[in-house]
Chains A and B, each alone.
Chain A
Amino acid sequence: MSNVSKAETREPLIRLSRRASITPRKAWTIRIVAVLLGLLVCGIAAFLLIEKLQSNPGKIGEFYYTFIKGSFSSSRRIWKFLKNVSILLCISLALTPAFRMRFWNIGGEGQTLMGVLSAIAVAFYLGGTVPEGVLLLLMLLAALLVGAIWGVIPALFRAKWGTNETLFTLMMNYVATFIVSYFLIIWVPSGSSSLGKLKYGKLPMIVNEQLLTVIVVLLLSVGLYIYLTYTKHGYEISVVGESVRTAQYVGINEKKVIIRTMILSGALCGLAGYLIAAGADQTVTTNSVGGQGFTGIMVAWLGKFNPLAMILTAALIQLLSQGASQISQDFGVNNALPNVIVGIVLFFIIGSEFFINYEIHFRGHSKAKGGIK
């Protein structure tokens, strides 16, 4: 009660209001400052965690230089960087249509893993018996199909009974992991449970191993941008995301949109799985996706669910984690360091969104600035 009367008599010290608009330049300045601050804090954290830095503080310059070195010091590293960015970007792109309609698909990890598994399964059973081109096509179809199935299961329940999709898709990740370990035990009877590289089902080289993957994903991000921005489907997704009631009012069948979009989302995760299976690893482990399904969520969110902006955010996250793993090698720290670095920078970017979305008015200043009442 006392709080209420106080608020009436005196304006609070800090007051918030949602910004009506912000110039892209200002928004990007805020984001860049956030990343720089994050990197500064990373430096402090590194100083606390790395003994080699404590004994020789002058090495801090080398610490930051290693971020660049980790990804760009040789052409092999640059290509590895580009390939990793592409796969991370592919998963993020896959999740984007779902996020745009506020369907929190955090099952990208499982959907991608099922894509890897089914592509490898086709190569395992049919490899050598059919021509390589046919095999690659069958692998692609299997990955797309199984990814889509894995994505559409939670969507069906959400559409029919409103089952919470966040928790459902999260659980599906683990089911996928154990299905993979089940098949690994069946395929590798020795019990070592690691399947070696398969001989068949490898994407053809264009200049080098990575270029094809990079091109496919770049085309995908442009395609998805067009799909989401200029087509009827994309429009329906946005309306369902903004307000289900509006969608019902204008005659959009939101159940159909949810199911259709999750088939797309799951299938694109399957595509990412295919690129991992046929384009890079040629094998499957329970760790084939390696948490990228979760990182992809953050990449998509950081890019404001804009497929073109996500190219940048995927590159940023990959740069940080590849640089940090180089640091953990060079400075002799535990290989979990990249997680710490990426985590810290993410916290700063997440926090910076607040200053983009909201305006802070201090007491007394709001009138001088012509604040809104």
Chain B
Amino acid sequence: MNIWVDFLITSLAFGAVFMYGSTGEILTEKAGHLNLGIPGIMCMGGAGGCLVLNLVGKSSLPGFLIVILGILGALIFSMLCGLLYSFLAVTLRANQNVTGLAMTTFGVGLSKVIINKLDSNIYLIGPKLLYRWPFAERRDALQYLGVLFFLAVIIAILSSWVLFRTKVGLHLRAVGENPATADAVGINVSRYKYVATCVGSGIAGLGGFYYIIDYMASQEAYLSVEALGWLSIALVIFALWRPHLTIVGSTVFGILFSCASYLANVKWLNITMATTPLLKMLPYVVTILVLIISSIRNKKENQPPTSLGLSYFREER
């Protein structure tokens, strides 16, 4: 296959990590919570999935069941983290930035301790091929598009549909924009915040799991999940708080991120080692530009949710 098509497909596959991370973060932010714990939660999702696969990876269970069990493991671990975050930030009304940062510290640390103890021969080598269904046998770039990639696209589109086309989504956005008003019309603010944060965390956790088990499929992959988590938070801005736009955004991020290694092969561009970090800086610079431009244009629908970062206490209206 053509090198450019290969490049596009690998960028798409890499982008799926961000699709998960940002879709999860968008759901949380729409409920008014800037969850800076997403990097830690993604790590924990990876740890949970790998822990389960470490138990069942070599067993005689049918393949699809192993795939589902791994996904469940990732979901459970990351949703538990989301639950802990919600308990602190919603019920106990703790400062969201501090809670999120503590969650990242904790999650990154614990996931490293856990995965370090596992045997990559069991959780990685066998299950990897199962997750790459249906293209596992291919030798070209298509092999990177597995079950979890398609799940990422489906979840992103589905989340947009729920957010912008259903009553539940309308209520959720109301909670993020103005919880006092939402409360006044009878929406259970705390429940929406809890559910959005936990579901969002679960989705983000799958991103970490996907990166470790499928996209990188290497023993050291878990060490770099944290950086991708921060980038996912950046992508939320880039996608203007719309989950379906994360598909476009994450592909662009994937291209920007991996173009450094591809462009090095293009001789006439004459790229030296020193330009590589500058190319890798691009996703962040582009994000800053998007943030600035959208704040200058000041269009209501491209802004962060109004009450993002604020705790809600009914008696303080």
Chain A interface (Cβ < 8 Å from any Cβ of B): 1, 3-4, 16-18, 49, 104, 106, 157, 161-164, 166-168, 170-172, 174-175, 178-179, 181-182, 185-186, 191, 291, 294-295, 297-298, 301, 333-334, 336-344, 346-347, 350-351, 353-354, 357-358
Give the distance in Å from the alpha carbon of A341 to the alpha carbon of B113 in the complex: 12
B105 near A182 with CB under 8 A, answer: no
The A-contacting residues of B in range 267-311, CB under 8 angstroms, are 273-274, 276-278, 280-281, 284-285, 287-288, 291-292, 295-296, 298, 304, 308-309
Contacting residues, chain A, for B110 (C-beta < 8 A): 336, 339-340, 343
Tell me, rounded to whole Å, the shortest Cβ–Cβ distance linking A27 to chain B. 15
Are B234 and A339 in contact (CB-based, < 8 A)? no
Which of these binds chain A: B1-9, B16-24, B92-100? B92-100
List 18 other contacts, CB 8 Å, given A185-B273, A191-B273, A338-B109.
A18-B316, A106-B101, A161-B295, A162-B298, A174-B230, A175-B284, A178-B278, A178-B281, A182-B281, A185-B274, A333-B113, A336-B112, A336-B113, A339-B108, A339-B109, A341-B109, A343-B102, A350-B95
A161 to B92, Cβ gap below 8 A? no
The one of B36, B233, B315 that contacts A17, using a Cβ cutoff of 8 Å:
B315
Residue of B97, B234, B291, B304 near A106 (CB, 8 A) is: B97
**CB pair B315 A164 closer than 8 Å:** no
**Total interface residues in chain B, CB < 8 Å:** 55
Q: Is the CB of B94 within 8 A of A171?
A: no
Cβ contact of A104, chosen from B106, B188, B234, B309, cutoff 8 A: B309
Decide if A171 touches B113 in the complex (CB within 8 Å). no
Whether a CB of chain A sits under 8 angstroms from the CB of B237 is yes
30 A–B contacts, CB within 8 A, in A order: A1-B186, A16-B313, A49-B113, A106-B97, A164-B237, A164-B291, A168-B288, A170-B234, A175-B285, A182-B274, A185-B273, A186-B274, A191-B273, A294-B105, A301-B95, A334-B113, A336-B113, A339-B105, A339-B110, A341-B109, A342-B106, A346-B98, A346-B102, A346-B106, A347-B106, A350-B92, A350-B98, A350-B99, A350-B102, A353-B92
B88 at the A interface (CB under 8 A): yes
B292: contacting residue among A49, A157, A181, A182, CB under 8 A: A157
| Cross-chain contact B88 with A350 (CB below 8 angstroms) | yes
Judge whether B277 and A336 touch: CB under 8 Å.
Answer: no
Which B-chain residue is minimally distant from A180 (CB atoms)?
B277
Whether A168 lies near B102 (C-beta < 8 A) is: no
- Minimum C-beta distance from A264 to chain B (A): 20
Instruction: Name the A residues within 8 Å of B224 (CB-CB).
Output: none
Question: What separation, in Å, do the CA atoms of A17 and B313 have in the docked complex?
Answer: 9
B116 at the A/B interface (Cβ < 8 Å)? yes
Smallest beta-carbon distance A243→chain B, Å: 14
Q: Could you tell me if B109 and A340 are in contact, using CB atoms closer than 8 angstroms?
A: yes
Contact of B102 among A4, A17, A171, A347 (CB under 8 A): A347
B226 to chain A: closest CB distance in Å?
10
Of B34, B94, B102, the most chain A CB neighbours within 10 A belong to B102
Closest 6 CB pairs of A and B: A339-B109, A343-B106, A336-B112, A354-B92, A178-B281, A346-B102
Q: Is the CB of B108 within 8 A of A336?
A: yes
Judge whether B103 is part of the interface by a CB distance below 8 angstroms: yes
In whole Å, how far is A109's beta carbon from the nearest beta carbon of chain B?
11
The distance from the CB of B112 to the nearest CB of chain A, in whole angstroms, is 4
Residues of chain A lying within 8 A (CB to CB) of residue B259: none
- Chain B residues, Cβ within 8 Å of A4: 186
**B84 within 8 Å of A by Cβ?**
yes
Q: In the assembly, what is the distance between CA of A301 and CA of B102, in Å? A: 12
Residues of chain B within 8 A of A181, CB atoms compared:
277
Among B34, B92, B99, B287, point to the contact of A166 (Cβ < 8 A).
Answer: B34
B274 touching A161 by the CB < 8 A rule? no
Distance between Cα atoms of A255 and B19 in the complex (Å):
36
Residues of B within 8 A of A358 (CB): 93
User: A76 vs B243: C-alpha distance in the bound complex, in angstroms?
Assistant: 52
Q: Contact: A161 with B298, CB < 8 Å?
A: yes
Contact of A161 among B102, B284, B296, B315 (CB under 8 A): B296
Residue of A16, A182, A191, A291 near B315 (CB, 8 A) is A16
B274 to A, closest residue via Cβ: A185
Smallest Cβ-Cβ distance to B227: which chain A residue: A174
Q: Which residue of A lies closest to B99 (CB)?
A: A350
Q: Which A residues touch B273, using CB under 8 A?
A: 185, 191
Contact A167 B233 (CB under 8 A): yes
Q: Determine how close the nearest CB of chain B comes to the CB of A16; give it in whole angstroms.
A: 7
Which chain B residues (8-64) contact chain A, with CB distance < 8 Å?
34, 36
Given the known A-B contacts A166-B309, A297-B98, are A171 and B277 also in contact in the complex, defined by CB atoms under 8 Å?
A: no
CA distance A269 to B261 in the complex (A): 34
B277 and A178 within 8 A (CB):
yes
- Contacting residues, chain A, for B114 (C-beta < 8 A): 49
Q: Which of B220-238 contact A (CB under 8 A)?
A: 230-231, 233-234, 237
Q: 0/1 per residue, B111-138, Cβ < 8 Å to A?
A: 0111011000000000000000000000
Does B277 contact A298, Cβ atoms closer than 8 Å? no
Contact between B233 and A163 (Cβ–Cβ < 8 Å)? no
Cα separation A347 to B304 with both chains bound (whole Å): 27
Instruction: Check B97–A297 contact: CB distance below 8 A.
Output: yes
Q: How far is the CA of A179 from the CA of B278 in the complex (A)?
A: 7
A contact residues around B113 at 8 Å (CB): 49, 333-334, 336-337, 340
